Structure 1
Amino acid sequence: MLWEVEIAPIGRDGDCERVQEEFNLLTHSQRGKELVVAATRGFLLEGEIGEIDARRLVEELLVDPLLETSQLTSLQTALPKPAVTVLLKPGVMDPSAQSVLDAARDFQIRLTAVRTFRRYYGPTDISATDREVLFRKVLANDAIEQIVPGRPQADHLSLGKSYSFKLIEVPIRNLDDAGLVKLSKEGMLALNLEEMKTIQAHFRELGRDATDIELEMIAQTWSEHCSHKTLKGPIDLVEHTPQGPKIRHIKNLLRETVFGATQEIRKKLGAEDWCVSVFADNAGVVTFDENYHACIKVETHNHPSAIEPYGGANTGLGGVIRDPLGTGLGAKPVCNTDVFCFASPDFDPAQLPAGVLHPRRVMKGVVAGVRDYGNRMGIPTVNGAVIFDERYLANPLVFCGTIGLIPVNRVHKEPKPGDYIVAVGGRTGRDGIHGATFSSLELTDASEVESGGAVQIGNAIAEKKVMDVILQARDLGLYTAITDCGAGGFSSAVGEMGAELGAAVELEKCPLKYEGLSYTEIWISESQERMVLAVPPKNWRELQQLCASEGVEAAIIGHFESTGKLKLRYQGHSVGELEMHFLHDGRPDVVRPAEVPPPAANLPPLKFHDKPQETLAKILACYSVCSKEWIIRQYDHEVQGGSVIKPLVGVVNDGPSDAAVVMPVLGSQKGLAIGCGINPRYADFDSYAAAACAIDEALRNVVAVGANPSKTAILDNFCWGNCNDPLILGSLVRAADACKDVALAFGTPFVSGKDSLNNEYRSADRRISIPGTLLITAMGQVSDVTRCVTMDFKQPGNAIYVVGTTRNEMGGSHYALVTGQTGGEVPRVDLSAAPKLFATLHTAISKGLVRSCHDCSEGGLAVALAEMAFAGGIGADVVHLSGVAPSLPDTVKLFSESPSRFVLEVEPGHEKELAELFAGQALMKLGSTVKEDRLRIAGENGEWLIWAKLRELKDAWQKPLKW
């Protein structure tokens, strides 16, 4: 029997309002209310159920009678009014439908299929132009959804047809160069000609052609996303200097910069080395206490989020949560982070390139995706940032990170010959196919249609169950190795786990969501919520019973063996066999040219005006600076009970915290501080300076709340444009060089990282490349969380100090942005002074000398003072601005974004000791906190440059994203 349950809201129709708002935004009109008059949602149910059972599901499971009304009908009944129905396309993961199937099973009601839908009512006489906007850009995302006029029919419940085996061989041996390029492009292999020729030569040596599954396996393993071939490959750099060109041959950029810095730091630490595992597992691992190590990983999910924002961000967070879970023998996730880069939400819809979603829709979808996954898994999202720049229009950046705890005796893993290969968790479907290779390509105006299959939809509840099973199995010692199914699915997971050993897989044993998947689709699908374990045969029965007790599926899909080969079979047929050595080490090194142009000569200095209060309000209202409370409030940052410093702090908990602090072991006083640094506008001037400032910012954020800079680990996430352009690659090299120099200066090791290249959009008439963007995430250790401080002013009568040197560094600043200027000098880190200053500040905070501390970043000193004042509800009188940098104009003192600076609130009784601690370093008293509700800053001549009510400043800061 087929049933439809249609559910309508009582009162406000939120989805209808959303659709009307989005249509009006995209068309600059108010016709949305005419075209969509009501919205409903619902379920299609199929199974051996009568009306009694169907109504039981409606009343007990599907509908909230306090908020909704419902109607149960058969599909044969015609709709009373014109409407269209939106369904997920066949094969796209539908978590809500799966939950209904699971619940019906608990009710002992026999459902065989469930689909969710949304329905929109409105007139049928819509113009072709309005119909295109409404159907393709508002009601549905063509990458994952379909629109059906009226009610759907029975065949819309069908997910797959039976598959008849046919081995597909690709005649690669006889292709010419043009044929190889065509094969790579049409197969979405994302491999260049040199790589295709290497594959061709390999199969010529074997005396046979490749099967389709072998080509797909090589493509995902060799993809930029998985193998990082640009950052790990050889580069010939030409750097133009005033003395002439300098030639530099780089064998492996990561090894010579980021990883090289960590190696040097660890050698210097010697016996006191606190790094446990770096760049060797799914996440970086450092020591924490006698029982646990801490691990951290940050990933990107940019291209999928550009195509389907909710699903891309949703699975981005779900994927990075599985990284700590797949590190060692499994770490428990304790908190998440997220950083987003968008174009302006006010972008003119008429200027949108073909195939590109509006930034407001992208932003709302991405935030919802991260929100739903983290909240449903019970993992707090505690730290992040949001950056806006029009160059992220077609390539939004979505960074998600997870911090976990792992027992000290569960760090090492090693599969053994004879261990079963066990798939645990979600079933395999068509979602995410070609995800790894798709992420290695640049986007075009056709990507939305061509790459829809690379988008996945996550199921957080399923992953929560998997996590609970894994952690129990870990403590019982039931497996010898574990990894997650990320990019490339089983191909990547099994290929990496068996790289030093060998493996044999029987693909028909992989649990499937539905019929019809070919052996190749099973192998490369990136369906979510799956982990792969190496399980000794003697432990299989116990693991199977444990999984069953938690409602988690587990299946043996093969075994590890000492052959050095990866063997794939399907229903008794050999479909693929590759040498592990060729798969992981056979990719040819392609020397890439890079170029660094000569330094820009005589950049014009910025012009300063005499309206600093107006400028301050404008900077506070910049999207990159303003309050992100609309986003933060959607996240649960209290779950697990270990959040010490939240993302919002202050007297009414709405001020911007520099970093989060969590207590991962409840009852312990030890904590972890998590912060980040990112400033792509500086990269327009010098990517070296931008990278240095990003590290400095991440470190000063965690130091500002009380973390120990000498026990802080950092991660790099490079997001760049098309690195086939020598100038773009040259800027990437400069940024990597800065990472090495700054990490060595601070003694701060990189423990993990990830890159995402080719973030560029191309159509017949437009090309949009993102700015060079480096995100640095810092995880600092806190010995006593009771000594931590927040950024809000605490009480009147305390002294205000600025720590660090202010310079005329306004290039790329927010002052330049709001005044429409492009000149000035970019901020640069003093690698001699900064590490000493950070160490001294940590000592001061540890001694209890500092009541509040805030770093100077976007907007400089004036913004930092304003934020501290309105967060604490405490005013401030700054009367010694002249002493900050006597030779510089007041505007520079207020708005310079020189790095390595902090504003401190200090009780009068601690001023002397503070001055003694900072002897010989840049410490300047600015004024004092006051009870009056104002911020006053006096200039060189004693006149008030700024005299503003805190409420006015706070309103300017909160209004832009108060959605």
Structure 2
Amino acid sequence: MLWEIEISSKSGPDREAEHALAEARMCRLNSLATVRSARSYLIEGSLDNAQLQQASGVLADRVVEQVTVRSLPDHSEAGQTERLLNVLFKPGVTDNVGATATKALQELGFEVERVSTCRKYWVNADSNESEVERFASRVLSNDSIDRVLFGPLQLTSLAVGSEQDFELKHVSIRDMDDEQLKTLSQTGQLYLSLTEMQTIRDYFRELERDPTDIELESIAQTWSEHCSHKTLAGRIAYRDENGERHFENMLKETVFAATQTIRKNLGDADWCVSVFKDNAGIVRFDDKQDVCIKVETHNHPSALEPYGGANTGLGGVIRDPLGTGLGAKPVCNTDVFCFASPETGFDSLPPGVLHPRTVMRGVVSGVRDYGNRMGIPTVNGAVYFDDRYLGNPLVYCGNVAMIPRGMSEKEVHPGDYIVAVGGRTGRDGIHGATFSSAELTHESEELSGGAVQIGNPITEKMVHDVILEARDRRLFNAITDCGAGGFSSAVGEMGEETGAEVWLEKAPLKYQGLTYTEIWISEAQERMVLSISPDKWDEFNALCESEGVEATVIGKFTDTKMLELKYQGESVGSLAMSFLHDGRPPVIRDAVYSPPEERAVNLDSETIEHGEVLRKILASLNVCSKESIIRQYDHEVQAGSVVKPLVGIANDGPSDAAIIRPDLSGKRGLVISCGMNPHLGDADPYWMAASAIDEAVRNCVAVGADPERIAILDNFCWGNTERAETLGSLVRAALGCQETAVAYGTPFVSGKDSLNNEFSYVDGETSRTISIPSSLLITALGQIGDIEKAVTMDLKSAGNVLLLIGETHNELGGSHFNLVTGRDGGIVPRVDFEKAPKLFSAVHELIDRGFVRSCHDLSEGGLAVTLAEIAFAGGLGAEIQLQKSGVDATVELFSESNTRFVLEIPSEHLADCHNVLEQAQLPAAVELGHVNESSELVVRGSDGTVLIQDSLKALKQCWQEPLSRF
């Protein structure tokens, strides 16, 4: 029998209803005058009313909530004054709260089969019907995962799926012509090129048979852009202003080559352990532990279902280090998001696009909930805004983890069991890997809803604990996470050198009715795959049972070099590992880049009010405070946070980087930072890449990291690289990465690319495409030998001297000055490859020797923004006078030249600082002025003219207000 337990507040505000009504107002749904809400549990099982009343005590707080119990279907009539809307998950979508409630009630002895959750809303009956439907689809639900039922619930069962008769399916590919191959690729959501489809057809012609559906899906998952990085690793003929260059493997010859060069230069001092060959990069930390880092993207799922997409994006990247070597313990998270403006008008949204505010809230809460519930601090990140992210937001999630020395290698042995651990398999995530390789359109929400997954951090935490205990007992030989492509990629990759035989009917399922192919390619979350010797299985299984974690043998590794897939004893797939991993034809593409013509920026001083420009930049979305987001994350859990995301006298200033202490018994720390500026890519992707690396490194150095021990990661997010111009900009950025990394001695240890980040839709009779700006995120992992020497960016003491370290050039191209004043043109910031490493070393020496009280890098907004931030973060004023007579003050204040810092130095150490720079053969530091006890920032020109004079309170308010109500 099916019952409903409805729960609502006894008194006090109905926050959920208030929020929904406010969103309705923003959508101009003016006929909705009133909204009230409740939540309910739908319970299927053998219970009577008395037992349900008892069960409701587990599900509701009767002190502040009231409970109504009714049987379903509900035969009551709709009210005369209100319309009822019920929002439920679609069948098959993971309902974590429902699953937890099921388990809790069963453990208490109630005969419960399953529980689902429901959100209920009542709106005034005289509301416009079309507006109510829009309210349901735009505000209350997301069609990717939700369904809305109007009126009293008429459900009779919560059962999902049913037993199906086994039917082996073949795809008649051998007789297909090119047009039919292209149609199959698109309609079957394989998203492979014609050449790839022809290669598959020819392979099976040689075998004189047609592929089964599972074989075709296995190839598509393995050959997807997401899994194989085939564009970046492809053959490219690149042409720019310097001529033509050919790459056999572009990624290998640029980013990978940079690391190889650096490691060769280091020789015996090489501190890289494992790079570009496992789920995460590994570098040396101390004599007991190494450190892993990985950053992934989860863009397309987050565009469709922001909460679930970001939630599982973080969950997946946590499993990357956990599946690296023999398993690493996560110690912190990092995240970077790119959205369109939250002020975007609802009426201007293309079809199939969620509002940026909805996307933003969902993404932030998805990352928040997963990280917080896993007990992993989120310590670093950034948020960027550009209207070109409309329809295709970017969600970067990263994880840093510690692994004992000597546990960075793994090896599959023929005869080992293939063991699945953790979550059960459902239809969530079907075609996730191939979907992530395709362009989004206004139909993506309908066609690819199955590509969205819902995560369960509690399950992952249990898996995490079991894996680390099993690692220390040496109970398995190899491990990997079950991410994109599900079992198909996890088992396929682990068995590449050996072979594997999989018994698909053994996989634990969330519900009945999955086909053998769905089991194989599902991307259901919180699953790991291990290689376990038969003689270790019993001990491993007992450990899992003791922690409530499900572990199942689903096959064995072989020595056949074949992937054999079986279901109920019958072969459903047989592929040579060589074809699966090496049979894909290389991508061969042309790439071209034509640098735009440089134009001077109009700097008519009579039209520039420097103080007003500063306020505008501080209030711009890319510069303003992200405190309303940061405060949602736990950055203190595990007790290792040394420098937090927010610092200063009121703990609300923008930290350059985070420092954590992974071993609480030691003083050595990890430094995590990032660098990114998509606006520079519009001017020149090469210098955008160089600037991103410079920013990530200088953020690390600004808090005390040793520049000689900084590792970096690249995450390329680009548009459709089948266009030669788009691919050309990506190649140019990769070249910038290579040359900058070598010059700085910062090896790339891992990376990820996400291509085809575009959104296409039809506007009337016109087809339109929104392509994201070329977006390169550089994440830096630094180290500090003694955390007690760390510095933060906030001013510390009146009387101290402020020094500008680094050279300022007329580089306003892509600047925030241009952005807020409506100007364009200018030279994009460049990097001096010879001076920059020397300057980083000099700043590190100054910090390490204790000469520096505070340090802040110059980035968005240039010197003016840096001065404002250090002043209001420290609650101290500053009197500044620019020194360069004859140089435009606007350039001095707002240029975004790279490799610059403002240091706060006690006067007694001023000579020491100048000496360090002189010995490094660097330009002398500029003495800007002094810290004082006032509550103002005053900046004068070289002639003494006041350019900026503003109160710290006003500047801080400008900076804090834009996203304060998020």
TM-score normalised by length of structure 2: 0.97
The equivalent of 2:916 in structure 1 is 917
In structure 2, C-alpha distance between the alignment counterparts of 1:399 and 1:834, rounded to whole Å? 27
Q: Match of 1:744, SS? A: helix
Count of residues in Structure 1 that have an aligned counterpart in Structure 2: 952
Instruction: Report matched runs for 1:20-169 at 5 Å.
Output: 20-27=21-28, 30-32=30-32, 34=33, 36-59=34-57, 61-77=58-74, 78=76, 81=79, 82-155=83-156, 157-169=158-170
Contact 1:23 1:133 (C-alpha < 8 Å) held by counterparts:
no
Change in Cα spacing, 1:888 to 1:30, as seen in structure 2 (3 Å) is farther
In structure 2, C-alpha distance between the alignment counterparts of 1:453 and 1:437, rounded to whole Å? 12
Q: Please report how far the alpha carbon of residue 101 of structure 1 lies from its aligned counterpart in structure 2 after TM superposition.
A: 1.6
The equivalent of 1:481 in structure 2 is 478
In structure 2, C-alpha distance between the alignment counterparts of 1:719 and 1:13, rounded to whole Å? 41
For structure 2, the 5+ residue unaligned runs are none
In structure 2, C-alpha distance between the alignment counterparts of 1:145 and 1:345, rounded to whole Å? 23
Q: Please report how far the alpha carbon of residue 601 of structure 1 lies from its aligned counterpart in structure 2 after TM superposition.
A: 4.8
The equivalent of 1:657 in structure 2 is 655
The equivalent of 1:690 in structure 2 is 688
Whether 1:396 aligns to 2:396 is no
The equivalent of 2:7 in structure 1 is 7
Cα distance per residue 1:28-81 (max 9 Å; x no partner) = x6544x1x520111110111223333223221x211234432222222442663
Equivalent residue letter for 2:935: D
Contact 2:272 2:282 (C-alpha < 8 Å) held by counterparts:
yes
Match of 1:408 among 405, 408, 413: 405
Q: Match of 2:395, SS? A: strand
In structure 2, C-alpha distance between the alignment counterparts of 1:31 and 1:912, rounded to whole Å? 71
Contact 2:370 2:456 (C-alpha < 8 Å) held by counterparts:
yes
In structure 1, C-alpha distance between the alignment counterparts of 2:138 and 2:647, rounded to whole Å? 38
Match of 1:797 among 780, 799, 802: 799
In structure 2, C-alpha distance between the alignment counterparts of 1:706 and 1:487, rounded to whole Å? 37
Q: Match of 2:709, SS? A: strand
Match of 2:355 among 349, 353, 358: 358
- Greater shift, 105-114 or 256-265, is seen at 105-114
Change in Cα spacing, 1:888 to 1:31, as seen in structure 2 (3 Å) is farther
Cα distance per residue 1:294-340 (max 9 Å; x no partner) = 00000000000000000000000000000000000000000000000
Change in Cα spacing, 1:918 to 1:515, as seen in structure 2 (3 Å) is same
Contact 2:72 2:156 (C-alpha < 8 Å) held by counterparts:
no
In structure 1, C-alpha distance between the alignment counterparts of 2:387 and 2:229, rounded to whole Å? 27
Cα distance per residue 1:611-651 (max 9 Å; x no partner) = 11111010000011000000000000000000000000000
Instruction: Report matched runs for 1:428-467 at 5 Å.
Output: 428-467=425-464
Q: Please report how far the alpha carbon of residue 281 of structure 1 lies from its aligned counterpart in structure 2 after TM superposition.
A: 0.3
Contact 2:857 2:901 (C-alpha < 8 Å) held by counterparts:
yes
Equivalent residue letter for 2:418: I
Instruction: Report matched runs for 1:113-262 at 5 Å.
Output: 113-155=114-156, 157-241=158-242, 246-262=243-259
Change in Cα spacing, 1:127 to 1:31, as seen in structure 2 (3 Å) is closer
Q: Please report how far the alpha carbon of residue 104 of structure 1 lies from its aligned counterpart in structure 2 after TM superposition.
A: 1.8
The equivalent of 1:269 in structure 2 is 266
The equivalent of 1:342 in structure 2 is 339
Contact 1:606 1:821 (C-alpha < 8 Å) held by counterparts:
no
In structure 1, C-alpha distance between the alignment counterparts of 2:861 and 2:604, rounded to whole Å? 16
Q: Match of 1:474, SS? A: helix
In structure 2, C-alpha distance between the alignment counterparts of 1:887 and 1:921, rounded to whole Å? 22
For structure 1, the 5+ residue unaligned runs are none
- Greater shift, 553-562 or 248-257, is seen at 248-257
Q: Please report how far the alpha carbon of residue 606 of structure 1 lies from its aligned counterpart in structure 2 after TM superposition.
A: 4.8
Change in Cα spacing, 1:594 to 1:155, as seen in structure 2 (3 Å) is farther
Equivalent residue letter for 2:547: E
Q: Identity over the aligned pairs, expressed in percent?
A: 57
Change in Cα spacing, 1:863 to 1:593, as seen in structure 2 (3 Å) is same
Equivalent residue letter for 2:579: F
The equivalent of 2:570 in structure 1 is 573
Equivalent residue letter for 1:710: E
In structure 1, C-alpha distance between the alignment counterparts of 2:77 and 2:550, rounded to whole Å? 40
The equivalent of 2:281 in structure 1 is 284
Cα distance per residue 1:705-762 (max 9 Å; x no partner) = 0111100000000000000111010000000000000000001100000000000111
Instruction: Report matched runs for 1:293-308 at 5 Å.
Output: 293-308=290-305
In structure 2, C-alpha distance between the alignment counterparts of 1:534 and 1:198, rounded to whole Å? 32
The equivalent of 2:862 in structure 1 is 860
Q: Match of 2:467, SS? A: helix
The equivalent of 2:307 in structure 1 is 310
The equivalent of 1:876 in structure 2 is 878
The equivalent of 1:784 in structure 2 is 786
Contact 1:24 1:31 (C-alpha < 8 Å) held by counterparts:
no
Q: Please report how far the alpha carbon of residue 115 of structure 1 lies from its aligned counterpart in structure 2 after TM superposition.
A: 0.5
In structure 2, C-alpha distance between the alignment counterparts of 1:457 and 1:601, rounded to whole Å? 47
Equivalent residue letter for 2:145: I
Equivalent residue letter for 2:520: W
In structure 2, C-alpha distance between the alignment counterparts of 1:79 and 1:518, rounded to whole Å? 40
Cα distance per residue 1:377-400 (max 9 Å; x no partner) = 000000000000000011100000
Once superposed, what is the RMSD of the aligned Cα atoms?
1.2
Change in Cα spacing, 1:882 to 1:531, as seen in structure 2 (3 Å) is same
In structure 1, C-alpha distance between the alignment counterparts of 2:112 and 2:890, rounded to whole Å? 69
Instruction: Report matched runs for 1:530-549 at 5 Å.
Output: 530-549=527-546
Whether 1:834 aligns to 2:836 is yes
- Greater shift, 16-25 or 83-92, is seen at 16-25
Change in Cα spacing, 1:24 to 1:143, as seen in structure 2 (3 Å) is same
Change in Cα spacing, 1:547 to 1:803, as seen in structure 2 (3 Å) is same
Contact 1:424 1:552 (C-alpha < 8 Å) held by counterparts:
yes
Q: Match of 1:904, SS? A: strand
Q: Match of 2:25, SS? A: helix
Q: Please report how far the alpha carbon of residue 368 of structure 1 lies from its aligned counterpart in structure 2 after TM superposition.
A: 0.4
Q: Match of 1:170, SS? A: coil
Equivalent residue letter for 1:851: R
Contact 1:672 1:781 (C-alpha < 8 Å) held by counterparts:
yes
Q: Please report how far the alpha carbon of residue 598 of structure 1 lies from its aligned counterpart in structure 2 after TM superposition.
A: 4.3
Contact 1:882 1:890 (C-alpha < 8 Å) held by counterparts:
no
Equivalent residue letter for 1:807: H
Equivalent residue letter for 1:642: G
Q: Please report how far the alpha carbon of residue 604 of structure 1 lies from its aligned counterpart in structure 2 after TM superposition.
A: 4.9
Q: Match of 2:707, SS? A: strand
Q: Please report how far the alpha carbon of residue 152 of structure 1 lies from its aligned counterpart in structure 2 after TM superposition.
A: 2.8
In structure 2, C-alpha distance between the alignment counterparts of 1:99 and 1:624, rounded to whole Å? 39
Q: Please report how far the alpha carbon of residue 234 of structure 1 lies from its aligned counterpart in structure 2 after TM superposition.
A: 0.4
Match of 1:708 among 700, 706, 718: 706
Match of 1:740 among 699, 716, 738: 738
Whether 1:517 aligns to 2:514 is yes
Instruction: Report matched runs for 1:556-705 at 5 Å.
Output: 556-602=553-599, 604-608=601-605, 609-705=607-703
Equivalent residue letter for 1:119: K
Contact 1:606 1:810 (C-alpha < 8 Å) held by counterparts:
no
Q: Match of 2:883, SS? A: helix
Equivalent residue letter for 1:38: R
The equivalent of 1:528 in structure 2 is 525
Equivalent residue letter for 1:290: D
Q: Match of 1:521, SS? A: helix
Equivalent residue letter for 1:2: L
- Greater shift, 590-599 or 169-178, is seen at 590-599
Cα distance per residue 1:473-509 (max 9 Å; x no partner) = 1101100000000000000000000000000000000
In structure 1, C-alpha distance between the alignment counterparts of 2:333 and 2:603, rounded to whole Å? 39
In structure 1, C-alpha distance between the alignment counterparts of 2:386 and 2:396, rounded to whole Å? 16
Q: Match of 1:101, SS? A: helix
